[in-house]
A = this chain, B = another copy of it.
Amino acid sequence: MVYDADGREEETDIVFLSEFVEPEDVMFMRRNGGGLICTTVTDQLAEKMGLPFLVDVFKAAGSEYPILKNSLPSSLPYDTKSAFSLTINHRKCYTGITDNDRAMTISEFGKLMKELDSGQSQASAMDSFTTSFRIPGHLFLLRTSRDILKDRFGHTELSTALCIMAELTPSATICEMMGDDGNALSRNMAREFARARGLQFLEGKEIVEVWKEWCE
């Protein structure tokens, strides 16, 4: 579990390695998290597939649909840029929303990231994506900023940095933890949840610190 930072979202996300996500992990996230279940992709692999940020899609379609241009955020209250990319379903999904379907979409996306990360060519990367996934779907993709944890310190970057430092496939699946009071689960309650279940609880600043050392 990863808490970002005081003064940012102040939210704790549950974090899984995408490649190995099972239906019970999706159930765990929706029951104990309650936010959106999202899967990260590095800027580098997104670039390889030609996978855009949603904001850039809306800009490209803005002349045809003016509402898109006019609804773009001039700024987010907690960061400079939204990490949202496309929403996807694996093509073998039925509705796309059941735990079985979402686990298939997530784990198959993770496996594709593993292949691409090990050197698949740019030309075939997009084909591999479009052969396996359709849009729009029920799983949100989140694209990291170009230089991870340099200018953006969101859960997208923090969770992906953990995967990279552990030398695992660089795609995490994350879900925000909600409280009983209408707000995000407080840091202390999230920490207590982790302790009670023997899970790791990390703060963003701890990850950023080791990431800087790791990058040197």
Contact = CB atoms under 8 A, between A and B. Distances in A.
Contact of A58 (B24, B78, B135): B135
Contact of A65 (B60, B70, B94): B60
B57 A61 contact: yes
Contact of A129 (B52, B67, B103, B183): B67
Interface in A19-46: 23-24, 27, 30-31, 34-36
A60 B57 CA distance: 9
Interface in A39-96: 49-52, 54-58, 60-61, 64-68, 70-73, 77-78, 82, 84, 86-88, 91, 93-95
A111 interface: no
- The number of chain A residues touching the other chain, given as a range, is 35 or more
Most chain B C-beta atoms within 10 Å of own C-beta, residue among A52, A97, A126 = A97
A1 B82 CA distance: 34
A9 interface: yes
A67 B126 contact: yes
Contacts of A130: 67, 70-71
Interface of A: 9, 11, 23-24, 27, 30-31, 34-36, 49-52, 54-58, 60-61, 64-68, 70-73, 77-78, 82, 84, 86-88, 91, 93-95, 97-100, 103, 126-127, 129-130, 133-136, 138, 176, 178, 180, 182-184
23 contacts: A9-B95, A23-B182, A27-B34, A30-B30, A36-B97, A36-B138, A54-B135, A58-B135, A60-B61, A61-B61, A67-B129, A67-B130, A68-B135, A71-B129, A71-B135, A73-B134, A78-B94, A84-B87, A95-B176, A97-B178, A97-B184, A99-B183, A103-B182
Given A27-B178, A35-B97, 8 more contacts: A9-B95, A27-B34, A30-B178, A54-B135, A55-B136, A82-B136, A95-B176, A100-B182
